[in-house]
Structure 1
Amino acid sequence: MTTADDGNRSPKTGLFSPVSMSRVSQVIVDRVKLLIRDGELTPGDRLPSERDLCEQFGVSRVTIREALRVLEASGLVAVRVGARGGAFVTAPSTERLGEGLADLLSLSALTAANVTEARMVVETSALPLIIERATAEDIADLLRLTDEGQAALDAGTYDVGMSAAFHVRLAECAHNPALTMLIHSFHGPMLMSLREAKVSAPLMGRQGSDEHRELVLAIQSRDLATAEAIMKAHLRRTASRVDG
Structure 2
Amino acid sequence: MSERGFNRVAGELRKQIITGHLAQGDRLPSEAELSAQYSVSRSTIREALRVLESQNLIVTTRGASGGSWINHPNRDEIAGYLETGFKLMTLALDMPSVEALLEVRAIVEVPAAQLAAQRRTDEQIEQLAESIRSHKPSAESHSVHRSFHGIIFEAANNALLHTVSQPIFAVVDERFARDKAPPEMWEEVARFHEEIFEAVRDQDSKAAGELMREHLAQLTTAYLAMTRTSIREEASMHSSSN
Q: How do residues 37-56 of structure 1 correspond to structure 2 at under 5 angstroms?
A: 37-56=18-37
Deviations 1:127-157 (A, max 9, x none): 222111112232233334444x42xx48x77
Tell me what 1:79 maps to. 60
Structure 1: 5+ residue stretches without partners: 1-19
Deviations 1:43-95 (A, max 9, x none): 22111233433443444554333322321232322234577653221223232
Deviates more, 1:110-119 or 1:228-237: 228-237
The amino acid across from 1:164 in the alignment is R
Task: Flag the 1:96–1:231 CA change in 2: closer, same or farther, 3 A.
Answer: same
User: Which among 73, 90, 94 is matched to residue 71 of structure 2?
Assistant: 90
Deviates more, 1:81-90 or 1:203-212: 81-90
Q: Match of 2:102, SS?
A: helix
Tell me what 2:173 maps to. 191
Q: How do residues 59-208 of structure 1 correspond to structure 2 at under 5 angstroms?
A: 59-80=40-61, 85-107=66-88, 108=90, 109=93, 110-147=96-133, 149-150=134-135, 153=136, 158=140, 160-193=142-175, 195=176, 198=178, 201-203=181-183, 204-208=185-189
Return the alpha-carbon distance in structure 1 between the equivalents of residues 35 and 129 of structure 2: 54
TM-score, normalised via structure 1 length: 0.74
Return the alpha-carbon distance in structure 2 between the equivalents of residues 127 and 183 of structure 1: 13
Task: Flag the 1:144–1:83 CA change in 2: closer, same or farther, 3 A.
Answer: farther
Structure 2: 5+ residue stretches without partners: 228-242
Q: CA deviation at 1:114?
A: 0.9
Report if the CA contact (8 A) 2:112-2:152 is conserved.
no
Deviations 1:167-224 (A, max 9, x none): 233122221222122212313123135x25x355232234323432432232121122
Report if the CA contact (8 A) 1:112-1:242 is conserved.
yes
Aligned length: 219
CA RMSD, 1 decimal: 3.0
TM-score, normalised via structure 2 length: 0.74
Return the alpha-carbon distance in structure 2 between the equivalents of residues 136 and 22 of structure 1: 53
Counting aligned pairs with the same residue, the percent is 28
